[in-house]
A = this chain, B = another copy of it.
Amino acid sequence: MGKLTVVGIGPGNYENMTVRADEALRACQVIVGYSVYVDLVRERYPDKEFFTTPMTKETDRCRMALERAREGASVAMVCSGDSGIYGMAGLLYQLRGEAEEPEIEVVPGLTAACSGAALLGAPLTHDFAVVSLSDRLTDWETIERRLTAAAEADLSLVLYNPASRARPDYLKRACGILLRVLPGDRPCGVARNIGRNGEGYELMDLSALENFDADMFCTVFVGNSQTRVIGGRLVTPRGYRDV
């Protein structure tokens, strides 16, 4: 019996991988993943067997990884960002069910909330919520309810999957919902292509964010009532009284 390691590779570049993720990829025999993520690691671990599936074939990909591990291979399933946060770890546990084998090890990685915030400044120094705007697996009413609740409770927000070719206007819709609760001048920011070619960020207020042309390589940050721009960075003070 082999083993299945679910590896969060972080935003994409080697430097933002953990030592443990690197060791897991060096130690395995087979690397499985969505083709875009596998391409991020292919060059550094050239002696592996690679297996990729397209984006919407998550279940096939996970079944295959479990099957190869059952047959005796040491398999690493790579996930962009973290292996758990919107990653494949949950689906792998679901598909394994109550069986004890193959062994599954979850290796965490930097999720875009961490890596994107670091690029923008320090927008998540206080309580926050992470919400995906993709309604492929979640109905839009639930997303809307979560956005409203987070805004009303003065949580900073991180929006994953703010747009895609099939959903070009979802960030606009989300901002429209937030603007029912939050002021238009609420400081916000967008991190793009974190840890990859074209890495960058932009700061803007919530009114401008409503018309921002986001794509699937963007992670969006909406500040809480204390968030402000300091020295060109998006900063949410923690509340230290002696500053």
Which residues of the other chain, B, contact A98 by a CB distance below 8 angstroms?
Answer: 230-231
Is there contact, CB below 8 Å, between B242 and A59?
yes
Which residues of the other chain, B, contact A231 by a CB distance below 8 angstroms?
Answer: 93, 96-100
A238 interface hit (Cβ, 8 Å): yes
Which residues of the other chain, B, contact A152 by a CB distance below 8 angstroms?
Answer: 149
In the docked arrangement, what's the CA distance between A137 and B20, Å? Answer: 34
A235 interface hit (Cβ, 8 Å): yes
Q: Mark A32-71, 1 if CB is under 8 A from B, else 0.
A: 0000000000000000000000000011000000000000
Residues from 17 to 38 in A contacting B, C-beta threshold 8 Å:
17-20, 22-23
Which residues of the other chain, B, contact A89 by a CB distance below 8 angstroms?
Answer: 118, 121-122, 125
Size of A's binding interface in residues, CB under 8 A: 80
Q: Mark A90-107, 1 if CB is under 8 A from B, else 0.
A: 111111111110000011
- Contact segment of A77-85, A164-172, A206-214: A77-85
In the docked arrangement, what's the CA distance between A235 and B98, Å? Answer: 12
Which residues of the other chain, B, contact A235 by a CB distance below 8 angstroms?
Answer: 90, 93-94
Q: CB within 8 Å of B: which residues of A?
A: 8, 10, 14-20, 22-23, 58-59, 82-87, 89-100, 106-111, 113-115, 117-119, 121-132, 137-138, 142-143, 145-146, 148-150, 152-155, 230-231, 233, 235-243
